[in-house]
Amino acid sequence: MIRVAVLIVVAVLALFACDKGPSHSPIVVYAVGNDEADLTLLLAEFTDDTRIPVTLVFSKSSKNADLVINNSGSPPADVLISDNVADIWRAADEGALRPVDTAAIKSSDPLLKDPDGFWVAVGLRWSSIGALKSEMARPLPSGYDQLASEDMRGQLCLSSSALHVNRSLLAMLIHDRGAKQAERLVRGWIRNLAAPPFSSEDELVDAIRNGTCAYGILSSNPDVDDLAYLVPEQHYVDVDAIGVARHAQQPESAQQLVKWLVDKKQPRIANKFEIGPVSIAGWLDEDARLMSERAGYQ
């Protein structure tokens, strides 16, 4: 069941009582529960800064996107925050989002926003190659191609292709290399697997740590000191993204929240790294899914 957290905190109520400014109707934000505690605290700070209360509705990213697309949520969403590119891109493609305020778009990295201005990124995860430090007899593989080479047989582990961070990686590989070359690379990974793909990245990290495999592709650096990581020079990312629902009942306050979060949270891309626009991962998500099926990447 969807859980609703209403962020009308005592401090904000006290501010209202002191009549230090006009009151506002709550903004309804659809978000993903895996960062519930951090997001709750962050949006309490937004309320403290702006006196705009927030109602948080937590569910799966894909379900939230469906509710916004169909305008069927209760309460209806003003803001959608997804934990991947594909869901926010789908909502925009279905006409369920309104353009983000110009100020928020202008302050955003061009690679981390929708080219048509319907959403912007507020979080980022790199696709990196990880290994156990104590077992590293040689340097980490220099890139994704080396993980598909014959000398890597039985040494690689992956998490499921159903995880959006992996689908984003596949989509960007399709864009950069073409479908045929990207699929050839993925087939090479599958030939080198030490175990079937794991359902979560936590399981993948455990497999590296217990010696099941020497290397894995990880979406971010887990908080463990015994793993080493390399982000290939030509590398790929997935993002958390935010947009304003087309049927928002509090559109002006919703736009204010988007701008506030972009200013607070949007990561910056270092110039030495090369990535493509993250919107590619949404545009080619279905292509990536079909390719993973053909390549036997479950």
pLDDT per residue as tens digits for the range 113-140: 999 999 999 988 888 899 988 766 667 8
Q: What is the mean pLDDT of residues 26-37?
A: 91
Q: What would the DSSP string read from start to end of 228-243?
A: EEE--SB--EEEEEEE
- Ramachandran bin of 160, using left for φ above 0, alpha for ψ from -120 to 50, beta for the remaining angles: beta
pLDDT for 190 beyond 90: yes
218 or 29, higher pLDDT: 29
pLDDT, tens digit (0-9, with 9 covering 90-100), for 230-266: 888 777 888 999 999 999 999 999 999 999 999 888 7
Assess whether pLDDT exceeds 70 at residue 144. Answer: yes
Could you tell me if residue 272 is inside a domain?
A: no
Task: Determine the structural domain holding residue 255 and report its residue range.
Answer: 3-124+238-265
Q: Quick one: pLDDT at residue 51?
A: 95
Check residue 5 and give its pLDDT: 40
Instruction: Give yes or no: residues 50 and 79 share one domain.
Output: yes
Domain count, the chain: 2
The DSSP symbol for 113 reads: B
Kind plus residue range of the DSSP H or E element containing 190:
helix 179-191
Q: Is 271 a domain residue?
A: no
Confidence (pLDDT) at 269: 66
CATH number for the domain spanning 219: value is 3.40.190.10
Q: How far is CA 72 from CA 65, 110, 207, in A?
A: 10, 32, 41
CA 292 to chain CA centroid, Å, is: 19
Say yes or no: 152 and 104 in one domain.
no
Positions of E strands within 74-174: 79-82, 97-98, 120-126, 128-132, 156-157
| 273 within domain boundaries | no
β 54-58/27-31 pair status: parallel
d(CA 186, CA 296): 9
Whether the pLDDT of residue 22 is over 50: the answer is no
Using CA atoms, how far residue 117 sits from 107, 113, 163, 191, 200, in Å, is 12, 7, 26, 41, 32
Classify residue 155: in a domain, yes or no: yes
Same domain, 221 and 146: yes
C-alpha dihedral, 137 to 142 to 145 to 146, nearest 10°: -20
Percentage of the chain lying above the pLDDT 90 cut: 66
Angle separating helix axes 85-93 and 61-70, nearest 10 degrees: 10
Q: Which residue has the tokens 């989002």?
A: 97
